[in-house]
Structure 1
């Protein structure tokens, strides 16, 4: 499942980093914290690896 916006892709990347222990969970905010709690590492990888080209900054 690819990300639908650049903001979603970045949030997934932050959540993935926290899930892997590369950053503290306490540094997560908003959508990335929700993603951390509700998604598996594989799901986060799928969102985070989406290419930025052609994606809107935010989804309407």
Structure 2
């Protein structure tokens, strides 16, 4: 499942336990398919903002 609780079809993906390899595969697949990668900066920035806000609250 992805972060939106949508099931991801991995039946055509070779098994790998290497997270970097899996992220790279997804990145290049997104380029081929003309879509935004799952781990794009645009999708990650809101998470970093929340982490920053939490850090500010914990260190205040």
Q: TM-score range by the shorter chain?
A: 0.3 to 0.5
Q: Which has the higher contact order (CA 8 A, sep 6+)?
A: 1
Give TM-score, length-normalised by structure 2.
0.34
**Between Structure 1 and Structure 2, whose CA radius of gyration is higher?**
2
Give TM-score, length-normalised by structure 1.
0.34
